[in-house]
Amino acid sequence: MDGNGRWAARRSLPRTSGHRAAETTVIDVIEAARAAGVGWLSLFAFSTENWRRPDAEIEFLMHLVRRVVRKHAPLLHARGIRCRFLGVSDPRIPPGLARDIADLMTLTGRNRQMTLTVAFDHGGRRDIVEAARSLIRSGVSPEAVTEESFAAHLPFPDTPDVDLVIRTSGEQRISNFMLWQVAYAEWVFPPALWPDFRAPDFLECLHAYRQRERRFGGVLPNQNGET
């Protein structure tokens, strides 16, 4: 969800105004995804690298996320959305926010209409390192390590591989997002800044994804002399 700061700067507003405006987009995209039949939606809200931002901005973001979680928890639960938070391990996360996140995951834990994963205090490299540590602690021999066994030690191992990554604002970087899971993801880079991104933009990205041929390193049968 990229472009909050630039959205605010173009309006001569503080960066925090861009973060505040992003809330509307978050709810709009969640509703659009659910209506379109998307089973798994992940939102990259705060990375491990974002801790380098100014203290005032981080404090604002922590308060904003807590308010959004509390405000929209009833709606998410009523929509049958299971909420998960990927990360949330840094001790700098305020205890109140950590409790609200845990409460939301408990409240929605049995819902199955859609799974919403919020990557918050998330880093793809850290997840891979932690999975390796978990394998070592489990006493798995090097010969027994497979892609499947490694993936089983990642956070939320039932999460399927990512099919489509949408990065707003035109930036074209992975930025340490779910590095293992995006190995064969398709990418779309819409130019809209995140606060301006809406349901029609999201559906346009889904349409672009559906037009692509996913070969996963192979070739399509009709391109290989086969029927």
The domain that contains 166 carries what CATH number? Answer: 3.40.1180.10
The total domain count for the chain is 1
> In sequence order, which ranges of the chain are alpha helices (DSSP H)?
4-9, 15-35, 55-78, 95-108, 124-137, 147-151, 199-210
Q: Which residues are catalytic?
A: 2, 50
Instruction: Establish if 127 belongs to a structural domain.
Output: no
Position 49 confidence tier, pLDDT thresholds 50, 70, 90: very high
Q: Is there a binding annotation on residue 176?
A: no
- CB atoms closer than 10 angstroms to residue 173: 9
Tokens of 38: 């998307």
The boundaries of the domain holding residue 198 are: 4-122+162-210
Q: Does residue 226 lie in a domain region?
A: no
Residue 64 belongs to a domain: yes
The candidate with the shortest Cα–Cα distance to 155, out of 91, 82, 86, is 86
- 169 is known to lie in a ligand binding site: no
HSE, CB side, 13 Å, CA atoms: give it for residue 13: 14
Is 129 domain-assigned?
Answer: no
Instruction: Let me know if residue 186 belongs to a domain.
Output: yes
The string of pLDDT tens digits covering residues 167-223 is 999 999 999 999 999 999 999 999 999 999 999 999 999 999 999 988 777 776 666
pLDDT digits (tens, 9 = 90+) for 10-44: 999 999 999 999 999 999 999 999 999 999 999 99
The whole-angstrom separation of Cα 182 and Cα 179 is 6
Rg, C-alpha atoms of the chain: 19
10 secondary structure, DSSP code: T
31 has binding-site annotation: no
Cα distance between residue 27 and residue 201, in whole Å: 14
Structure tokens at 174: 């992975």
Is 5 annotated to bind a ligand? Reply is yes
Q: Is residue 227 pLDDT above 60, yes or no?
A: no
In a domain, 102, yes or no: yes
Pick from 187, 218, 176: which is nearest to 47 by CA?
Answer: 176
For residue 181, being part of any structural domain is answered with yes
Judged by DSSP in three states, 84 sits in strand
